[in-house]
């Protein structure tokens, strides 16, 4: 659905040129929820704004559905933008218009007759869970409800692609989850391709099928979400994965627990998919002469199945511990030493 080839954006500033997007190649399949994660300044917003040509590229190509986005006339761009919608961090609603009128706005621009427009608006209000709020003004809505209006408006013209620019960053965690669930719901119901940018790994973990990690305008790592969680390669990716697994807290806890004894090693075991359901610790202590102390464990759900992280301290003769670790790895579980006093 989306193909980027050597995409580049350089801004000219008074301090000289700034390369915000640096020769990016990217493919997104139809129906995918694709996440782009990076810290502030990585170039995410510029990249997403290039996709619908809110920014003009300095080089490279952008293909979305049948549109060669970098080569369109003004008229073609207007047509293409009906197929490529966007939602924003601060919703960008029209404050003097009701919910119904906000959602109807893109239909008015597209010249949809009034009766058809009203029917479509009612459908969209139902789809995003805003029944009964059609006559409210944005100022009378919560943040989550405002974003629901943004989503309904973005879906009005039956787009093929939805771009989400930090769409949940202004929302509290519970509201964030409900908006993410709505995005998954419309992805499934409508087969819509969704690209979202975020600085929160929780958002990627919860709804994305694939993820790209951005740093200094480049994509430094890309892959299926579960695979990236299981084996993050780049330092930047490992930092983002930590946002979900919380090893800092665990390291602190391990330090506290084991200051007075010696020879303790804390391991992080990472399970994905079906591995998360195996009674692995039970098998380890039955098979090898080791004791295992569980410090912290967590299973989270991703779009491709469960992802689990378990922090354990293991004690025993070196030989037995080493055999237990080899056995664990043979079960498809990643093992990493995170604390060794």
Ligand X SMILES: Nc1ncnc2c1ncn2[C@@H]1O[C@H](COP(=O)(O)OP(=O)(O)OP(=O)(O)O)[C@@H](O)[C@H]1O
Q: Which is nearer to ligand X, 47 or 207 (CB)?
A: 47
Stretch that binds ligand X, among 23-31, 42-50, 105-113, 262-270 (CB under 6 A): 42-50
- Does residue 41 bind ligand X (CB under 6 A)? yes
Q: Is 38 in the site for ligand X (CB under 6 A)?
A: yes
Long-range CB pairs of 74-78 (<8 Å, 24+ gap) are 77/53
SS3 of residue 169 by DSSP: coil
For 67, list phi and psi in degrees, rounded to 5.
-100, 130
User: Smallest distance from the beta carbon of 11 to ligand X, in angstroms?
Assistant: 3
Q: Report how many helices (DSSP H) and strands (DSSP E) the chain contains, helices first.
A: 12, 14
Tell me the closest approach of the beta carbon of residue 45 to ligand X, in angstroms: 3
| Stretch near ligand X under the rule CB under 6 A, chosen from 23-31, 43-51, 58-66, 262-270 | 43-51
SS3 content of the chain, % helix, strand, coil (to 5): 40, 30, 30
Query: If binding is defined by CB under 6 A, does position 313 make contact with ligand X?
Result: no
Q: Please identify which residue in 35, 44, 219, 307 interacts with ligand X, judged by CB under 6 A.
A: 44
C-alpha–C-alpha distance, residues 231 and 204, integer Å? 15
Measured from the CB atom, the residue of 46 and 145 that comes closer to ligand X is 46
Segment lying near ligand X (by CB under 6 A), choices 41-49, 104-112, 185-193, 245-253: 41-49
- Binding part of the chain for ligand X, among 35-43, 76-84, 236-244, 277-285 by CB under 6 A, reads 35-43
State the nearest-atom distance from the C-beta of 184 to ligand X, in Å.
23
Q: What is the nearest approach in angstroms of ligand X to the Cβ of residue 24?
A: 12
Q: Confirm or reject binding of residue 11 to ligand X (CB under 6 A).
A: yes
Q: Identify the residue among 7, 20, 93, 219 touching ligand X (CB under 6 A).
A: 20
Question: Other CB atoms closer than 10 Å to residue 173's CB: what's the count?
Answer: 9
CB 312 within 8 A of CB 340: no
Q: Is 45 in the site for ligand X (CB under 6 A)?
A: yes
- Nearest approach, Cβ of residue 214 and ligand X (Å): 7
Kindly state the smallest distance separating residue 2's Cβ from ligand X, in Å: 18
Asked if 245 touches ligand X (CB under 6 A), the answer is no
E-only strand ranges, the chain: 2-13, 16-28, 33-37, 59-64, 67-68, 84-88, 161-165, 193-198, 210-215, 218-224, 265-272, 291-302, 305-315, 334-340
Which one, 45 or 302, has the nearer CB to ligand X?
45
At closest approach, how far in Å is the CB of 216 from ligand X?
Answer: 9
Structure tokens at 153: 């408006």
Spatial distance between the Cα atoms of 126 and 129, rounded to a whole number of angstroms:
5
The yes or no reply on residue 118 touching ligand X (CB under 6 A) is no
Q: Is the dihedral of CA 106, 37, 3, 45 positive or negative?
A: positive
* Of 4, 7, 43, 153, the one binding ligand X by CB under 6 A: 43
- How far apart are the C-alpha atoms of 220 and 241, rounded to whole Å? 14
Q: Interaction with ligand X in 80-109: which residues (CB under 6 A)? A: none
> Does residue 13 touch ligand X according to CB under 6 A?
yes
Residues 206 and 177: beta-carbon distance below 8 Å: yes
Contact 273/304 with Cβ under 8 angstroms? yes
- Residues forming contacts to ligand X in the complex (CB under 6 A) are 11, 13, 18, 20, 38, 40-46
């Amino acid at each position: 659905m989306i193909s980027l080839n050597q995409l580049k954006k350089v801004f000219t500033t008074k301090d000289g040129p700034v390369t915000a997007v640096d020769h990016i190649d990217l493919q997104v399949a139809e129906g995918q929820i694709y996440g782009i994660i990076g810290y502030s300044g990585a170039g995410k917003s510029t990249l997403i704004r290039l996709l619908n040509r809110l920014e003009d590229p300095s080089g490279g190509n952008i293909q979305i559905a049948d549109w060669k986005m970098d080569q369109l006339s003004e008229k073609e761009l207007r047509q293409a933008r009906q197929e490529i919608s966007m939602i924003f961090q601060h919703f960008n609603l029209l404050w003097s218009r009701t919910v119904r009128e906000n959602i109807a706005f893109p239909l008015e621009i597209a010249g949809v007759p009034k009766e058809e427009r009203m029917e479509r608006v009612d459908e969209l209000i139902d789809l995003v869970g805003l029944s009964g709020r059609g006559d409210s003004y944005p100022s009378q809505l919560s943040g989550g409800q405002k974003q629901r209006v943004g989503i309904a408006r973005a879906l009005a013209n039956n787009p093929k692609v939805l771009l989400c620019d930090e769409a949940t960053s202004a929302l509290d965690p519970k509201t964030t989850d409900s908006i993410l669930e709505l995005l998954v719901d419309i992805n499934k119901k409508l087969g819509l391709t969704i690209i979202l940018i975020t600085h929160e790994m929780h958002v990627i973990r919860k709804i994305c099928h694939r993820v790209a990690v951005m740093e200094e305008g480049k994509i430094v790592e890309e892959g299926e979400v579960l695979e990236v969680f299981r084996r993050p390669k780049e330092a930047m990716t490992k930092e983002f994965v930590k946002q979900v697994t919380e090893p800092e807290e665990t390291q602190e806890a391990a330090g506290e627990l084991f200051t007075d004894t010696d020879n303790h090693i804390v391991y992080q075991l990472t399970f994905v998919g079906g591995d998360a359901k195996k009674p692995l610790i039970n098998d380890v202590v039955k098979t090898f002469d080791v004791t295992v102390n569980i410090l912290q464990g967590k299973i989270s759900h991703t779009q491709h199945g469960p992802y689990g992280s378990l922090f354990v301290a293991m004690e025993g003769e070196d030989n037995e511990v080493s055999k237990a670790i080899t056995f664990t790895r043979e079960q498809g579980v990643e093992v990493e030493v995170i604390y060794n006093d």
